[in-house]
Amino acid sequence: MKNHVWRPLFAVIGMAAVVLVIRAFYVPKDFGVHERGYMYGWYRAGNIEDWKNVKVKYQGREYCKTCHSDKYESIEKTPHAIIQCENCHGPALGHPENPAKLAIDKSRGLCLRCHSYLPYPTSNRANIRGIDPDRHNAGIECVMCHNPHKPSPEGMK
């Protein structure tokens, strides 16, 4: 073969060798090692303890239910039952001590994440009542007319 074939071939083989050598020094030995011998994936056995020490910011709806059973019961009867409380109220880490009251995102944009019309057939938005944000009460927050804990016609304010 001629040089125009060998030179690029050697260059590619050389680059692959360099990558493998760097990978051997850079990637930790326990990275991707699992109990069943599966060796690829974003997992490192040596940092399990690090992850156990991470404080979880989001507590889940069961955490909220203990003190806010009235809100929990009312929202469980609505289509919003599939939404976690902290999607609107923010993470409950340290609540109720700090802060005593969680911030509530009352912005129109929060509601429009689900309720603006998307014409994509695979978006499953056909199952959610959508609005045209430019024509439906433009300029005011949704919570001025709608109670998110009772998002049905009888929940109108």
Residue 83 and residue 37 share a domain:
no
Is the pLDDT confidence value at 155 over 60?
Answer: no
Percent of the chain with pLDDT over 70: 84
Measured over all CA atoms, what is the biggest interatomic distance in the chain, rounded to whole angstroms?
82
Q: Binning pLDDT at 50, 70 and 90, where does residue 20 land?
A: very high
Residue 144 and residue 76 share a domain:
yes
Residue 126 and residue 66 share a domain:
yes
Measured between alpha carbons, how far is 89 from 69 in angstroms, rounded to an integer?
A: 15
Give pLDDT tens digits for 67-106.
Answer: 889 888 888 888 888 888 888 888 888 888 777 788 788 8
The pLDDT of 32-40, averaged and rounded, is 64
Q: Which 8-state DSSP code applies to residue 122?
A: G
The pLDDT of 127-143, averaged and rounded, is 84
Instruction: Please state, rounded to an integer, the average pLDDT across all residues of the chain.
Output: 81
Q: Which of 54-58, 65-69, 114-118 has the lowest mean pLDDT?
A: 114-118
Q: What is the pLDDT at residue 83?
A: 84
Give pLDDT tens digits for 140-149.
Answer: 888 888 888 8
Residue 113 and residue 38 share a domain:
no
The residue range of the domain holding 31 is 3-52
Residue 128 and residue 99 share a domain:
yes
Spell out where the chain has E strands. none
Q: How far is CA 137 from CA 110, 113, 128, in A?
A: 15, 16, 18
- What's the number of domains the chain is made of? 2
Percent of the chain with pLDDT over 90: 10
Residue with tokens 């929940």, as numbered in its chain: 155
Is the pLDDT confidence value at 1 over 80?
Answer: no
Residue 82 and residue 20 share a domain:
no
128 vs 157, more confident: 128
Q: Binning pLDDT at 50, 70 and 90, where does residue 152 land?
A: low
Measured between alpha carbons, how far is 113 from 125 in angstroms, rounded to an integer?
A: 11
Residue 111 and residue 76 share a domain:
yes
Residue 137, by phi and psi: left (phi above 0), alpha (psi -120 to 50) or beta? left
Quick count: other Cβ atoms within 10 Å of Cβ 85?
Answer: 23
Residue 69 and residue 137 share a domain:
yes
